Amino acid sequence: LPAENPEDIPFAGDNYQRISGDAVELARTTVFAWEASERSAVSGIDEVNPVSNPSQVEFARRQFELKKAKLEEDRKKSVLDKYGTGGAEHVDEGHEIRRLALGSTENYVEYGRDGRVVRGAAKAVAKSKYPEDILVNNHTQVWGSWFDRRAFRWGYGDDHSLIRNSYSSGEAGRAANEAAAAGLTTGTERERPMLEARPAEERAAAADQAAAASSRSELFGEQLAPDLDQEKLKKALKKAKKFQKDTERHEEEADDKKRKYNSMDTYEVTKEEMEAYRLTKGNTADPMFNVAEGELLDYEPEATDAKRNKKG
């Protein structure tokens, strides 16, 4: 505190002395040397070095500041000579600083306890980034002042034109545009029955797809029908076994040309044929799958009894 004796308080350090005296001038000279080096790299002028020649850099800085101050004075004077002394406060930087320091304005505003404006200055309306109220091509209304529901497009409200860069044609053009829109509506109404007929066709196609999906589900076992024709099932089993034998024989011969299979043939599989395929196909997950039908498994009871006696 100012009232305390400096000898009675602890030492606060001497960093405050770093920004006193000529230290500030040295910092300005260093910054000037940096900026001068950047400008010299662009303009090709010899750069200045504050370490090797500090006197030259200091002199150059002072000359630069004098020229800068003179140019600012000349600019202010030229503005006042051109527009008069009525705008002197706009050029005087001290006037703005004093106005902000006092904090007084000519606008009366009342604030609430929470800091919101209670009465006084109204909120400024945000200005749009898009052009507003610009009339072009002899139009008396702006683009977007009218919307055509039949064409579902924006246009001009004076002549009902739907073309952005069109020239205003007045009442005659409005009548012509209305007639063209009416003709477009008539053509659309003629096409309406065709558009209404399409949903019925789509519903019929959806029903066919559902029926095909149902029959396919029954065919491949997802919803297998319990009633099967036994005669057809026997024929299908016989046919499937014959097909398996023929396939094995053809695989042994390894001759693709002798096969009667044709991938381009359209053949509908019946439920009985699908059931016969399930009954005759091999289950590789079964441990007895590779055991032949007439093969007998060896059983050694003596060896089994010996193992049991050994464990006991």
Asked if 150 and 78 sit in the same domain, the reply is no
Beta bridge partners of 77: none
The region of weakest confidence among 120-124, 178-182, 238-242, 250-254 is 250-254
Q: How many CB atoms lie within 10 A of CB 186?
A: 9
The region of weakest confidence among 65-69, 179-183, 232-236, 265-269 is 265-269
CB 42 within 8 A of CB 13: no
Residue 113 domain-assigned (yes or no): no
Contacts of 33 (CB under 8 A, 6+ apart): 48, 49, 50, 57
pLDDT band at residue 67 using 50, 70 and 90 as cut-offs = very high
The span from the CA of 157 to the CA of 83, in Å, is 45
* Strand-pair category, 143-148 with 117-119: unpaired
Q: Looking at residues 9-28, what average pLDDT do you find?
A: 79
pLDDT band at residue 69 using 50, 70 and 90 as cut-offs = very high
Asked if 137 and 220 sit in the same domain, the reply is yes
* Angle (nearest 5°) at CA 299 between 293 and 305: 160
Asked if 205 and 239 sit in the same domain, the reply is no
Q: Give me the domain span that covers residue 294.
A: 227-260+267-300
Asked if 182 and 237 sit in the same domain, the reply is no
The region of weakest confidence among 16-30, 213-227, 276-290 is 213-227
* Portion of the chain with pLDDT greater than 90, in percent: 4
For residue 305, pLDDT beyond 80: no
pLDDT band at residue 70 using 50, 70 and 90 as cut-offs = very high
Highest mean pLDDT: which range of 114-123, 264-273, 295-304: 114-123
Domain count of the chain?
3
Asked if 154 and 218 sit in the same domain, the reply is yes
Residue 2 domain-assigned (yes or no): no
Asked if 206 and 232 sit in the same domain, the reply is no
For residue 255, pLDDT beyond 70: no
In the block, tokens 């096969």 appear at 259
Residue 111 domain-assigned (yes or no): no
In terms of Cα–Cα distance, which of 61, 45, 64 is closest to 53?
Answer: 61
Asked if 201 and 231 sit in the same domain, the reply is no
Asked if 23 and 70 sit in the same domain, the reply is yes
Domain C-terminal end among 224, 249, 280: 224
pTM score, whole prediction: 0.28
Asked if 94 and 145 sit in the same domain, the reply is no
Asked if 235 and 217 sit in the same domain, the reply is no
For residue 66, pLDDT beyond 90: yes
Report CA torsion sign: 232, 234, 235, 240.
positive
Residue 122 domain-assigned (yes or no): no
Residue 173 domain-assigned (yes or no): yes
Residue 22 domain-assigned (yes or no): yes
The span from the CA of 279 to the CA of 259, in Å, is 24
For residue 216, pLDDT beyond 70: no
